[in-house]
Structure 1
Amino acid sequence: MKILLSIWAILAICITTGHALSCTQCSSDSSTTCQGNSETCPAGFVCRSFYFENSAGSSSLQRSCSHPRECNIKGGFTIKQVTFMMASSCCDTDNCDPPLPPSPPISSVPNGVTCPSCTTTGSTSCQSSEVIKCTGDQNRCVLLTQEGNTGSIYRGCATKEVCDLQVFSGNVLSGQKISCTNGDISIHRAVLTTTIACILLVKWLL
């Protein structure tokens, strides 16, 4: 009986520990592919391709180990007047090659949400009177922070997918912590909504 219990205990440990994948670690700022060394990932991680581009014309590709929560992500954020779009794809075998994920299109259509926007480096705060109009699916106000003397802070608009990540890992924004709030509806839209509500109320009372 003791031998049987010992066998079950060993099997449980093996199942819990899981298999650690090996994934290619590489990056490229001018190509849609890259080559690099193979590294062993933490248990439970997968191999990921992360494609990143912005409205200024820059792009980058990174392949690395990743937590599964950062797979199949499509989203973006806007800091100041620059919009960043990102997409990821994953695979779960040793040194597999995740396909290049298509980046979501950049929208210029305002959605009625406004957010404060600023950037700073080497500081613990980022305050600005500048407000930007969010576009497309970017209906959250985002705060990106990175600790340390050379840390950076960014404020702007973001999609729900970016906000749900909570922290970036294994990409161009590795280590950036993400916190979001619901965006403010622009004052013009708020006034219009209130006006319509008042008109409907008056008509109902009459």
Structure 2
Amino acid sequence: MDLQISVFLLFLLFTAGHSLRCYECSSQTGSCANQKETACTGGSYSCFSSTGVAQVGGITTKQMSKGCADVCHSWSYNYGYMRMYSSCCYTDLCNLQGPPDPVANGKKCYTCDENGCSKTLSCTGNEDRCFTATDNFEAPLRVGKGCVSKHLCDSTSSYSCCKGDLCNGAQSVTQSFLFLCCSLLSYFLLH
């Protein structure tokens, strides 16, 4: 019994000073060529990688971010012309490659474009819910629709989420592109 306690205490002694190391970067070009290794501080127990992609008027922009996280969940949301996805890992320098590009998962939701909200969108990765996001601060009512992962539905009141194909309705409304871009920008700034 004393040997087991001694081995356990020895293990604690050698691991207590070790902190997780992750790659860290923030890129507006979608490539983290300038990533650097960083030692995580505080309660950071995971590394994350997130990617945001927007397509406006035939122009595609991609942003990438990597770093340490206290609490990390893999998630994704997709407005059709804008999507963001993130992945987590828990070993040293495990976020080298960034999140894998999500593949279609068979689920479909409605999305909005300049002609209304009756277009369908193929969900990807862990997007297992449809959502409707509403901006009630401006008139007329502005709405965005698309696919989202369960974790985002559970952790924010910004989305009204539902399960099932095309459950987020197809009513025609005007969307606020600025509102949708602000949600992507705010996520990058807050993480």
TM, length-normalised to structure 2: 0.50
The count of residues paired between Structure 1 and Structure 2 equals: 143
Deviations 1:83-137 (A, max 9, x none): 31424353412x5553233322589x993x44689xxxxxxxxxxxx53534112
Please say if 1:76 is aligned against 2:77.
Answer: yes
Query: Which residue of 64, 68, 79 maps to 2:67?
Result: 64
- Higher relative strand content: 2
| In 1, Cα distance between equivalents of 2:53 and 2:100 | 11
Alpha carbons of 1:104 and 1:96: their partners in 2 closer, same or farther (altered >3 Å)? closer
Residue 61 (structure 1) shift:
1.4
Gaps in structure 2 of 5+ consecutive residues: 136-141, 172-191
* Amino acid paired to 2:122: G
* Amino acid paired to 2:160: C
| In 2, Cα distance between equivalents of 1:144 and 1:20 | 41
Identify the residue that residue 204 of structure 1 maps to in structure 2: none
* CA contact 1:48–1:98 (8 Å) conserved in 2: no
Gaps in structure 1 of 5+ consecutive residues: 118-129, 146-152, 168-176, 188-206
| In 2, Cα distance between equivalents of 1:144 and 1:90 | 32
| In 1, Cα distance between equivalents of 2:150 and 2:107 | 18
Residue identity (%): 15
| In 1, Cα distance between equivalents of 2:159 and 2:70 | 19
Deviations 1:11-59 (A, max 9, x none): 7xx79x9964243432111142232462523425212222222233110
Identify the residue that residue 161 of structure 2 maps to in structure 1: 181
3-state SS of 2:152 partner: helix
Which one has the largest radius of gyration?
1
Identify the residue that residue 102 of structure 2 maps to in structure 1: 104
Identify the residue that residue 183 of structure 2 maps to in structure 1: none
Query: Which residue of 146, 164, 170 maps to 1:157?
Result: 146
* CA contact 1:51–1:86 (8 Å) conserved in 2: yes
RMSD of the alignment, in Å?
A: 4.6
